[in-house]
Amino acid sequence: MLPNYARKCSLPGLIWPALACVAFTGCTSLELPGTAFQRPSNPDYLSASSSLDLDHSVQEQAYYAVRQAKAENGVVLEVVGDSNPARSMPLPAAGQSVYVSDLLQETGVLSKLEYVGATLYRYSPGTVNGLPMEVLMSDDCATVRPESDYALQPGDRLRVWKVPNPAMGKLYNAFLGR
């Protein structure tokens, strides 16, 4: 009697090992489903407020700036795309409130960027980035709407970015008949 490894194999018996080699090695063109812990490869999939969207060095600078601002009774102004992304701004003494619109006007961000979008991250000891609070802008994207003109507290971080001219969007929508 011959051992198993010395016997001749039939053609159908060779197909299964060959198929297994192709399927379970790196030479396959099949896309296997990913796990829930993988980051999607499409950058448009992630939201603007996701912590994965931020560059890690910017995120780290903002984190330490918020800690320092909290200790020194200040807030952090983060302008996306600026050379100094996280600036610490002092708040006035107790009794005088500063609002988001005041900070944007007094720092010159509105005059420099013209049309802005903003999110306020309220300091919370249970989170790393803070609690996001959307800052609603008027239709012209140049003024803060009163219902979201929050009073700033020590340790708050205001993230501001430039948005396209809203008039061009309205013109485009009118052209398309929307």
Least confident of 86-90, 110-114, 144-148, 173-177: 173-177
Q: What architecture is the 56-167 domain classified under in CATH?
A: Roll (3.10)
120, HSE (Cβ side, Cα atoms, 13 Å): 23
Q: Which of 34-38, 74-78, 84-88, 142-146 has the lowest mean pLDDT?
A: 34-38
Contacts of 66 (CB under 8 A, 6+ apart): 76, 121, 123, 130, 155, 157
Residue 47 confidence (pLDDT):
44
Say what the pLDDT of residue 159 is: 93
Element holding 86 (H helix, E strand):
strand 86-90
The model's pLDDT over 98-143, given as tens digits with 9 standing for 90+, comes to 999 999 999 888 888 888 889 999 988 888 788 999 999 888 778 8
Report how many helices (DSSP H) and strands (DSSP E) the chain contains, helices first. 5, 5
Whole-prediction pTM value?
0.61
Q: Which pairing describes strands 86-90 and 157-162: parallel, antiparallel, or unpaired?
A: unpaired
Domain ranges of the chain: 56-167
